[in-house]
Amino acid sequence: MKLYGYFRSSAAYRVRIALNLKGLTVQHAPVHLLKDGGEQMQPDYLARNPQGIVPALELDDGSVITQSLAIIEYLDAMKPEPRLVPAGPVLAAKVRAVALAIACEIHPLNNLRVLDYLKGPLRHSQGDVDRWYGHWLLAGGLEPIEQMLPGDRFCFGDAPTLADCCLVPQLFNARRCKVAYDHLAKIGRAEGSCALLPAFEDAHPSRQPDAQ
């Protein structure tokens, strides 16, 4: 399998964590999101993912799966242990709800192309863009998510799930953009537990072959 990604892409980071938790190795194919207008917009990548975003997972038979959550669900179906979406339907729904709150409510509003559009065509200042970013990350995102968590060692229970795979990369983005979230104790606890696992450590952007 080949994973098309970018070291700092939080969506690709989610998939790297899931692969590591399952002990799966893939070939990494870096797609530089900033070079020459973005390699994600080059025809050879668009042929794999017409959305022009990473990640994309190419299987050995040549088929391609896009969207990080779809990729992780695929991995969970193909190699169920350790389970990233729990078997119980209620818990599974709660795990997916936190993952989707991050992937659908925070991430798209703070994605590179959205920030570029605010700064470029809409002519907003960097200050406005920073406020936008902080608002959708915290008040619109992490603060309600804090209330969705039970306060366990990981997001839900004693082992990482799809929710932790999404949370940790989003927190990496928050730190990088200097948005403080120390007041969110349950999120902090889950982050601390994940940080102790090599699967999370090895997936960190700074550990990737294309890291700059």
For binding to ligand GSH (CB under 6 A), which residues are involved? 9-11, 33, 38, 40, 53-55, 67-69, 103, 111-113
- Least distance between ligand GSH and beta carbon 201 (Å): 20
Q: 23 or 108, CB closer to ligand GSH?
A: 108
- Least distance between ligand GSH and beta carbon 69 (Å): 6
Q: 53 or 193, CB closer to ligand GSH?
A: 53
Q: 73 or 191, CB closer to ligand GSH?
A: 73
DSSP string, the chain: -EEEE-TT-HHHHHHHHHHHHHT---EEEE--SSGGG-GGGSHHHHTT-TT--S-EEE-TTS-EEESHHHHHHHHHHHS-SS-SS-SSHHHHHHHHHHHHIIIIIIGGGGSHHHHHHHHTTT---HHHHHHHHHHHHIIIIIHHHHHHS---SSSSTTS--HHHHHHHHHHHHHHHTT---TT-HHHHHHHHHHHTSHHHHHHSGGGSTT--
Q: 193 or 203, CB closer to ligand GSH?
A: 203
- Least distance between ligand GSH and beta carbon 173 (Å): 9
- Least distance between ligand GSH and beta carbon 166 (Å): 9
Q: 9 or 161, CB closer to ligand GSH?
A: 9
- Least distance between ligand GSH and beta carbon 169 (Å): 8
